[in-house]
């Protein structure tokens, strides 16, 4: 297939909750999104075939676009025929497969075991069991029977065996290998986990002898070859391979999609990371992307030559909504609500969402609770991302988002919010950036597919990124510094292209939005108080070109970190006021 003949493209994503598809074609010389559709994913019985949801999306797109995509058997026609039936290319991503359940066994909890745990956050895995030789249990440093029992009860898909710096002692590591081998020996052949050894290279032969034929053994480079050195990539690559082999490629119905796909079907999180890299390269900016789905939350950053991707397969807003609340604490979820809701009622609503993951929020309370959960899922994911990413410039407040040029949100809870101001506020609350950052939204739902589209036609991906795939929300100005509520933080003057100006003050605890439409730019003069930092140093005034968007120009003077009133009624009133100020 050559890029010259690719005009019409279908892109699909098979998610854990919903399947989405968009039709792309050339309109007046530029690639545009013609139509889109979504349908509940058909993984579970009675369907048990993910291709059926994709077909439903295609059928809906046929109705919207008034063109034929499928043949008489319901199969997508690729390439496009002379009569206009079908498309020139089809690309797809998927995240509907169950994540790999991982157990980690090693020598030291805070070193090699922790490094292996960090590596599991690179793909669709959940680390459910962590066993370390130095862990205390009932006063004993290593209780072999209980550790074997823990592995047997968990029945993991993968066991990562790690420990020992290069050329270090092997005997303690072999004790752990014995526990792993003993547990594996009790499982039937069909249930045996894959064992990945990522420890001292000199122990490979002895470990292989211990494991024997009790489980399939894969060997990679040491995850922690020295006390102060980590090497996560070998484990990450092996886990990605296992996920493809053991989970994604075994999705029922995926083979039907692969048969007509122009590129191999890719894991959504991997493709999303590649999409972030493509955006950063195209716009020559540092970019952070956040994709929150029903079961998984993914974050990716491209800053200069540095790229990192973080995935939490236990954090989502439908299948894993209760796990977010348990991990973050229900009180941390409830603090974001513009209403007073009891913990019991919140848990009831979250349980209903878990039982019925395909349902959309029916009430305003349900919607706001889902958005509150999303804030906490993103906050937890950011904490893990910061363990892997060393930014060029440290955040002004530890644990918050470091300075970045562009922040892009993706996922239904963000793209389907009733008001763009809700999406912008959600991102600002969850990540709490400082300085100046441009906010955007994957409005076309194509971020994960951008890299695949670039593989069949680079120009199509570039034009979609620049024109309509990524929707600008606006520029956010986020001052930092110690001030009391109500004190002056910054004065501003915004000059429009037509000669008009608007000036004003923003005080501590406030978030204001100035009108600045999409594609519109304005010259913004900022005059902070002497203890306020806009990203250039305390008290330093500055001028920047602000870009408009669906929300406008946002000045967020609520402080970093955000401090919410302890009283539930006052807190709810404050949250409602902020929502009102951003037009939501």
Q: Is the pLDDT confidence value at 2 over 50?
A: no
Calculate the average pLDDT of the chain: 92
Whether residue 282 contacts residue 465, with contact meaning beta carbons closer than 8 Å, is answered with yes
What distance in Å separates the CA atoms of residue 446 and residue 441, rounded to the nearest whole number? 11
Burial of 192 (0-12, 13-18, 19+ CB in 10 A): middle
Name the percent of the chain lying above pLDDT 90: 76
Length of the chain: 584
Position 497 scores a pLDDT of 87
What distance in Å separates the CA atoms of residue 24 and residue 444, rounded to the nearest whole number? 10
Determine the average pLDDT of the residues in 351-355. Answer: 95
Position 1 scores a pLDDT of 43
State the Cα torsion 401-403-408-409 to the nearest 10°.
Answer: 20
Determine the average pLDDT of the residues in 343-357. Answer: 95
Q: pTM of the full predicted structure? A: 0.92
What distance in Å separates the CA atoms of residue 123 and residue 311, rounded to the nearest whole number? 6
Q: Is the pLDDT confidence value at 80 over 50?
A: yes
Position 476 scores a pLDDT of 96
Q: Is the pLDDT confidence value at 285 over 50?
A: yes
Q: Is the pLDDT confidence value at 418 over 50?
A: yes
Q: Is the pLDDT confidence value at 229 over 90?
A: no
Give the domain ranges of the chain.
3-97+259-264, 100-246, 269-581
Q: If you classify domain 100-246 with CATH, what class do you get? A: alpha beta
Rounded to a whole number, what is the largest CA-CA distance in the chain?
78
Position 137 scores a pLDDT of 56
- Tell me whether domains 3-97+259-264 and 100-246 share a fold: no
Position 165 scores a pLDDT of 75
Q: Is the pLDDT confidence value at 432 over 80?
A: yes
Q: If you classify domain 3-97+259-264 with CATH, what class do you get? A: alpha beta
Determine the average pLDDT of the residues in 395-402. Answer: 87
What distance in Å separates the CA atoms of residue 63 and residue 38, rounded to the nearest whole number? 13
């Amino acid at each position: 297939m050559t890029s010259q003949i690719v005009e019409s493209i279908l892109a699909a994503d098979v998610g854990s909750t919903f399947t989405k598809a968009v039709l792309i074609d050339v309109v007046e010389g530029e690639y545009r999104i013609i139509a889109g559709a979504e349908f509940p994913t058909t993984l579970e019985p009675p369907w048990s075939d993910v291709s059926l949801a994709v077909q439903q999306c295609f059928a809906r797109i046929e109705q919207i676009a008034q063109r034929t995509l499928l043949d008489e058997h319901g199969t997508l026609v690729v390439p496009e025929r002379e009569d206009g039936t079908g498309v020139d290319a089809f690309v797809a991503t998927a995240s509907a497969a169950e994540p790999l359940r991982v157990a980690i066994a090693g020598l030291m909890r805070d070193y090699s075991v922790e490094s292996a745990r960090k590596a599991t956050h690179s793909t669709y895995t959940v680390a459910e069991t962590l066993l370390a030789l130095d862990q205390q249990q009932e006063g004993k440093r290593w209780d072999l029977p209980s550790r074997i029992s823990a592995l047997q009860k968990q029945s993991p898909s993968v066991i990562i065996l790690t420990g020992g710096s290069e050329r270090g002692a092997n005997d303690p590591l072999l004790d752990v290998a014995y526990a792993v081998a003993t547990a594996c020996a009790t499982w039937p052949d069909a249930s045996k986990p894959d064992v990945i050894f990522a420890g001292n290279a000199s122990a490979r032969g002895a470990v292989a002898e211990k494991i024997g034929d009790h489980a399939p053994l894969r060997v990679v480079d040491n995850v922690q070859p020295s006390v102060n050195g980590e090497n996560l990539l070998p484990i990450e690559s092996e886990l990605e391979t296992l996920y493809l082999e053991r989970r994604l490629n075994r999705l029922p119905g995926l083979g039907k999609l692969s048969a007509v796909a122009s590129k191999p079907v890719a894991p959504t999180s991997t493709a999303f990371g590649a999409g972030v890299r493509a955006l950063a390269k195209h716009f020559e900016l540092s970019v952070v992307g956040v994709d929150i789905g029903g079961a998984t939350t993914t974050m990716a950053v491209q800053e200069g030559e540095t790229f990192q991707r973080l995935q939490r397969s236990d954090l989502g807003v439908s299948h894993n909504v209760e796990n977010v609340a348990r991990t973050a604490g229900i009180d941390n979820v409830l603090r974001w609500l513009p209403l007073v809701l009891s913990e019991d009622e919140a848990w009831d609503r979250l349980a209903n969402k878990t039982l019925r993951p395909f349902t959309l929020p029916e009430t305003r309370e349900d919607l706001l609770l889902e958005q509150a959960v999303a804030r906490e899922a993103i906050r937890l994911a950011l904490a893990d991302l910061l363990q892997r990413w060393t930014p060029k410039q440290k955040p002004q407040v530890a644990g918050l988002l470091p300075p970045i040029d562009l922040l892009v949100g993706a996922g239904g809870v963000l793209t389907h919010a009733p008001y763009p101001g809700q999406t912008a506020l959600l991102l600002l609350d969850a990540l709490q950036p400082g300085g100046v950052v441009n906010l955007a939204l994957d409005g076309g739902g194509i971020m994960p597919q951008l890299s695949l589209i670039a593989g069949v036609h680079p120009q199509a991906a570039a034009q979609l990124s620049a024109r309509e795939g990524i929707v600008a929300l606006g520029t956010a100005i986020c001052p930092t510094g110690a001030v009391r509520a109500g004190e002056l933080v910054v004065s501003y003057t915004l000059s429009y292209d037509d000669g008009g100006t608007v000036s004003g003050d923003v005080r501590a605890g406030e978030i204001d939005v100035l009108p600045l439409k999409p594609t519109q730019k304005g010259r913004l003069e900022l005059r902070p108080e002497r203890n306020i930092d806009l990203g250039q140093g305390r008290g330093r005034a500055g001028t920047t070109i602000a870009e408009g968007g669906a929300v406008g120009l946002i000045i967020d003077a609520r402080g970093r970190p955000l401090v919410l009133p302890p009283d539930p009624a006052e807190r709810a009133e404050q949250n409602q006021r902020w929502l009102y100020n951003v037009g939501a």
